[in-house]
Amino acid sequence: MRLITESGEMVLPSDFSISIEQKSPFFSDEGTQSIPVTLPEADINNSVLGHASRPGHTKQFKRKISATLETSAISKSGKLVIENVQKNSGTIAALMLNESDFYTQIKDVRLSEVFSKKNRNEFSSVQNIYEHIFNCMTGEIIDDFTMFPVACNLNEGKYSLLNGPDTKSNQDPWPLKWSARRIYYENQAVNVPDGYGITPFLWLHKAIDLLFYEYGYSVRKNPFRDGFLSQIVLINNTADSICKGSLNYGDLVPSCSVAEFIKFLELKFLCFCFITPESKTVDIIPLNEAVKSVPDQDISRKVDGSEKYIFSEPQEVDIKSETSLEGAQPAMETLFDLANKYTHIASLNEFEFRNNAWKYNFIFRQSTGEYYEVLRKPGTSSVQINKLGTNYFRHYTKRLTAKEYISPDVMPTMVELKMGVNGSKEIIIVCPYIGQTRHMNTSYKEKGSSADLKIMIALCAGMSDYDANIDSKYYVGTTQRYNNLGNICYDYDLTPQSIYQLFFKGWNEYLMNSGISAECKVDFLIEDLLSLKMDRPKLIKGQPVLLQELSYNIGERLTNTVSKYILLKKLSPEMVDIQVSFLSQDYTWEYQSNIDSLLAEFDTQEWESYTWDYIGDDIPGKNSFEYIPPPTISQFQSGETYYSQQNTIKIIAYKLYNQNPFIYEKTLISGFKAVQI
Residues 109-168: tens digit of each pLDDT: 999 999 999 999 999 999 999 999 999 999 999 999 999 999 999 988 999 999 999 999
Pick the closest to residue 221 from 165, 173, 167, 286 (CA basis). Answer: 286
Instruction: Give the pLDDT confidence of 398-452 residue by residue, as tens digits.
Output: 999 999 999 999 999 999 999 999 999 999 999 999 999 999 998 765 444 456 8
609-634 pLDDT tens trace = 999 998 876 676 556 789 999 999 99
Positive or negative, the Cα torsion across 633, 634, 639, 645?
negative
| Chain-centre distance for alpha carbon 34 | 36
84-93, 158-167, 654-663: least confidently modelled range: 84-93
Q: What backbone torsions phi and psi does residue 339 show, to the nearest 5 degrees? A: -65, -25
Residues above pLDDT 90, as percent of the chain: 69
Q: Which residues lie below 8 Å from residue 58, measured CB to CB, with a gap of 6+?
A: none
User: What's the rounded Cα separation, in Å, for the pair 630 and 583?
Assistant: 11
Nearest partner of 232 among 477, 597, 421, judged by Cα: 477
**Once rounded to an integer, what is the mean pLDDT over residues 458-465?**
97
- What confidence tens digit (pLDDT) does each residue in 208-232 have? 999 999 999 999 999 999 999 999 9
- Angle 321-325-328 from CA coordinates, rounded to 5°: 65
pTM of the model: 0.90
Residue type, 523: D
For residue 93, what pLDDT is reported?
Answer: 86
**Half-sphere exposure of residue 581: CA atoms within 13 angstroms, side-chain side:** 5
Q: Are 212 and 280 in contact (CB under 8 A)?
A: no
Strands (E), 73-137: 75-86, 90-97, 119-120
Contact 180, 194 (CB under 8 A): yes
Mean pLDDT, residues 471-481 taken together: 97
